[in-house]
A and B are shown apart, each in its own frame.
Chain A
């Protein structure tokens, strides 16, 4: 193979690699934004109005962390103030400390898998950042 052929092959390989990397990255990103996509969205308005919701039913809730205001006496739970997407409301979410791979902090965008506790509190054991 002459030099031109080798350069051509190297360029093609690089392009393929680039395409592969970008495709993988795209896949990875797409895979994350669609976390808990199979779950129904949390009925925020109904909840805020005190409508009846089934406990132990999982919902998907996405929003920005407004504040972490409290920690449980055991230290296992956090009370997080979440501003749901496209809403000016603030809702409290009881979050397991180990629910996510990275610690929760303010201004973080999260997608949570939530359900309602016995006293209608919103609780989450899984969340992902995005």
Chain B
């Protein structure tokens, strides 16, 4: 019951909304051709009062939209709603496409958590750290040049030969740099073992055995002493020891046991003899590991030392130098390496490289090292990697010079993935990094603005990006950002028209679509707010209309006809419409009676004036204006009024002859009055024929 009432009222409100709006100037250009427009009602001033409205034809019938026009409008709204839903899908697709485009233009568009930490650290590195890196890599290159005449960094001729001693000394100096991560020291350790010959741990094993026997004795002694603390002394009868004594013994025994365990473990680890073959294999493994870690210069240095080893001439790399299973796999394969999807590589699960779908340049796999059979082949591979890095750096410098920010950022991403420890990457100047970082930030902000539908922000950022970069076209973004607010406004206006056609569901859908399309646009916000205000105002108006109709207040109904008329005309409740129209008729009758009375009074036909008022419908007979006017007129023709009143009373009582007598008396005061003449004729006919 309540909801039905509310729905009815809502529909009534919806019906009325539009009509108020059609008249408003703001929506004039947007009203569809089929939309019915209702002219305001001309309201006559009350007789005897000055006219406040414009002169016009008063008391004319209410203009109501035809059924066909209203239905046509509803059909149009339904089509508009379908179109809106289609466009909403297209809009979403467009947003996805633009997001993909932005993602392909910059790595920073991707979620921050998916960006490799190395990359972010690299961009945020301080200028001082970069200078230190430059020193470090200068030394590293020097060490390489001393060992490898074929070094890509070599500025000398081959004739100068290698200088392993100086290279080894340089390696030692690298240890003070944080960038080295102790790699050089480890390399020197491997070299020492590699060159150091066979190692024998027999003396240490003997020492450990002696220590173990001594500890065993100590442990037995402690256990004996602890047993003696239990029970009572047979002589004194007092306890031999306290709980604290026993706890102390237990603790000492545990310490001895722990020492024994450690010594046994050490003995076990020393119970082997390292052969020359094993030392070679270990060194080869270390070379491969350095290559895997993208420490190409270190790997190349290791290769140089390997060439100078006692086993010179034997440059074959044992397949076991590669990780488990790798050596037996197909040459050049990537299985078993820390590539995306490899077991244990948590940061890059299979098929989930966040950038592979977005950016072809960012979908660079992590470093992969093919299975290479010889140290020479490994050197060639490493040299190629270094040369690639040198080329990439040169290309990136050129890109930055030409403001090709998108390509520069992509290339930087590639270098981070493939040449992580290369000097070409780590010595990129601070300014260049900031340029790329700023571009990424802009692209990120642009993506955020796109996701939040902040079109003003989008336009602003797109213009800025176009100024700073040349290879990321922003025209489509700008067009999109310009187009959407006007589309959203159009949807709001369609929602207004839907409300006009009493289609609240469609109006709601269209408003939702407008909000989804441009939630932050001030004009759209204002339009929706106006729509809501209008809705609320009309809701109150609908309540007023219902009250007026229920109270039968025809005077208010008529005086507010401009407000109520459109609302009632579109109301789905026919009863309400009919009642409203009836009230309008009543007020018009009142006004017409008063007008007629005015006219008679001007001709001093007071009796006729009084009759004009007395013959109104019973529904308006008690109207205060009529009663007041009748009193005034009656004072000017009391005899007529008395005669007419008595005539009416006798006529109602069936005393036709007496009624006729009174009517004849009244007619004498209002000669020629057609109503009285008719009465006299009717009653006279009855009287004379009896």
Chain B's closest residue to A91 (CB) is B661
A89 interface residue per 8 A CB criterion: yes
Which of A11-19, A32-40, A66-74 sits within the interface? A66-74
Provide the residues of chain B in CB contact with A73, threshold 8 Å.
689
Determine whether the beta carbon of B668 is less than 8 Å from that of A79. Answer: no
Most chain B C-beta atoms within 10 Å of own C-beta, residue among A71, A73, A78, A121? A121
Provide the residues of chain A in CB contact with B562, threshold 8 Å.
none
Determine whether the beta carbon of B688 is less than 8 Å from that of A90. Answer: no
B658 interface residue per 8 A CB criterion: yes
B81 interface residue per 8 A CB criterion: no
Determine whether the beta carbon of A89 is less than 8 Å from that of B661. Answer: yes
A111 interface residue per 8 A CB criterion: no
Chain A's closest residue to B658 (CB) is A50
Q: Of A48, A66, A72, A81, which contacts B658 at CB under 8 A?
A: A48
A29 interface residue per 8 A CB criterion: no
User: How many of B's residues come within 8 Å of A, CB to CB?
Assistant: 24
Q: Of A50, A70, A79, A81, which contacts B650 at CB under 8 A?
A: A50
Closest chain-B Cβ to A119's Cβ sits at a distance in Å of 5
Most chain B C-beta atoms within 10 Å of own C-beta, residue among A47, A50, A79, A90? A90
Determine whether the beta carbon of B688 is less than 8 Å from that of A72. Answer: yes
Q: How far is the CA of A90 from the CA of B681 in the complex (A)?
A: 15
B685 interface residue per 8 A CB criterion: yes
Q: How far is the CA of A77 from the CA of B477 in the complex (A)?
A: 105
Interface string of A59-100 (1 = CB under 8 A from B): 000000010011111000111010000001111101000000
Most chain B C-beta atoms within 10 Å of own C-beta, residue among A71, A77, A91? A91
Closest chain-A Cβ to B397's Cβ sits at a distance in Å of 125
Determine whether the beta carbon of A120 is less than 8 Å from that of B658. Answer: yes
A118 interface residue per 8 A CB criterion: yes
Interface string of B660-690 (1 = CB under 8 A from A): 1110110110000000000011001111111
B653 interface residue per 8 A CB criterion: yes
Interface string of B625-655 (1 = CB under 8 A from A): 0000000000000010000001000100101
Closest chain-A Cβ to B660's Cβ sits at a distance in Å of 5
A122 interface residue per 8 A CB criterion: yes
Provide the residues of chain A in CB contact with B684, threshold 8 Å.
69-70, 79, 92
Determine whether the beta carbon of B667 is less than 8 Å from that of A120. Answer: no
Q: How far is the CA of A107 from the CA of B608 in the complex (A)?
A: 26
Most chain B C-beta atoms within 10 Å of own C-beta, residue among A48, A78, A118? A48
Determine whether the beta carbon of B639 is less than 8 Å from that of A88. Answer: yes
A117 interface residue per 8 A CB criterion: yes
B134 interface residue per 8 A CB criterion: no
Determine whether the beta carbon of B661 is less than 8 Å from that of A48. Answer: yes
Chain A's closest residue to B666 (CB) is A90
Determine whether the beta carbon of A48 is less than 8 Å from that of B662. Answer: yes
B656 interface residue per 8 A CB criterion: yes
CB-CB under 8 A for A81 and B664, given A73-B689, A121-B687: yes
Most chain A C-beta atoms within 10 Å of own C-beta, residue among B655, B656, B689? B689
CB-CB under 8 A for A72 and B660, given A88-B668, A89-B665, A92-B684: no
Provide the residues of chain B in CB contact with A79, threshold 8 Å.
684, 687-688
Q: Of A47, A77, A91, which contacts B664 at CB under 8 A?
A: A91
Determine whether the beta carbon of A120 is less than 8 Å from that of B655. Answer: yes
Chain A's closest residue to B685 (CB) is A70
Chain B's closest residue to A81 (CB) is B664
Determine whether the beta carbon of B657 is less than 8 Å from that of A77. Answer: no
Provide the residues of chain A in CB contact with B662, threshold 8 Å.
48
Provide the residues of chain A in CB contact with B661, threshold 8 Å.
47-48, 89-92
CB-CB under 8 A for A90 and B665, given A69-B684, A70-B688: yes
Provide the residues of chain B in CB contact with A119, threshold 8 Å.
656-657, 686-687, 690
Closest chain-A Cβ to B242's Cβ sits at a distance in Å of 138
Q: How far is the CA of A109 from the CA of B650 in the complex (A)?
A: 28
Q: Of A47, A91, A94, which contacts B688 at CB under 8 A?
A: A94
Q: How far is the CA of A120 from the CA of B661 in the complex (A)?
A: 11
Q: Of A88, A90, A92, which contacts B657 at CB under 8 A?
A: A92
Interface string of B446-478 (1 = CB under 8 A from A): 000000000000000000000000000000000
Provide the residues of chain B in CB contact with A72, threshold 8 Å.
688-689
Interface string of A116-130 (1 = CB under 8 A from B): 011111100000000
Provide the residues of chain A in CB contact with B665, threshold 8 Å.
88-90
Q: How far is the CA of A81 from the CA of B690 in the complex (A)?
A: 17
Q: Of B653, B680, B685, which contacts A50 at CB under 8 A?
A: B653
Most chain A C-beta atoms within 10 Å of own C-beta, residue among B665, B667, B685? B665
Q: How far is the CA of A88 from the CA of B661 in the complex (A)?
A: 12
Provide the residues of chain A in CB contact with B690, threshold 8 Å.
117-119, 121
Determine whether the beta carbon of A77 is less than 8 Å from that of B658. Answer: no
Determine whether the beta carbon of B655 is less than 8 Å from that of A90. Answer: no
Closest chain-A Cβ to B250's Cβ sits at a distance in Å of 136
Provide the residues of chain B in CB contact with A69, threshold 8 Å.
680, 684
Q: How far is the CA of A27 from the CA of B690 in the complex (A)?
A: 39
Q: How far is the CA of A120 from the CA of B685 in the complex (A)?
A: 14
Determine whether the beta carbon of B688 is less than 8 Å from that of A77. Answer: yes
Most chain A C-beta atoms within 10 Å of own C-beta, residue among B639, B680, B688, B690? B688
Q: Of B653, B656, B658, B681, which contacts A47 at CB under 8 A?
A: B658
Provide the residues of chain B in CB contact with A117, threshold 8 Å.
657, 690
Q: Of B646, B657, B680, B689, which contacts A120 at CB under 8 A?
A: B657
Q: How far is the CA of A92 from the CA of B680 in the complex (A)?
A: 10
Provide the residues of chain A in CB contact with B688, threshold 8 Å.
70-72, 77-79, 94
Q: How far is the CA of A7 from the CA of B681 in the complex (A)?
A: 68
Give B residues with C-beta under 8 Å from A. Answer: 639, 646, 650, 653, 655-658, 660-662, 664-665, 667-668, 680-681, 684-690
Question: Can you list 16 A-B contacts (CB < 8 A)?
Answer: A48-B658, A50-B653, A69-B680, A69-B684, A73-B689, A79-B684, A79-B688, A88-B668, A89-B665, A90-B664, A92-B660, A92-B684, A94-B687, A120-B657, A121-B687, A122-B657
| A-B pairs with lowest CB-CB distance, top 9 | A90-B664, A121-B657, A79-B688, A91-B661, A121-B687, A120-B657, A90-B665, A70-B684, A89-B665
- A70-B681, A78-B688, A88-B665 given. 6 additional CB < 8 A pairs? A69-B680, A69-B684, A79-B688, A94-B687, A117-B690, A119-B656
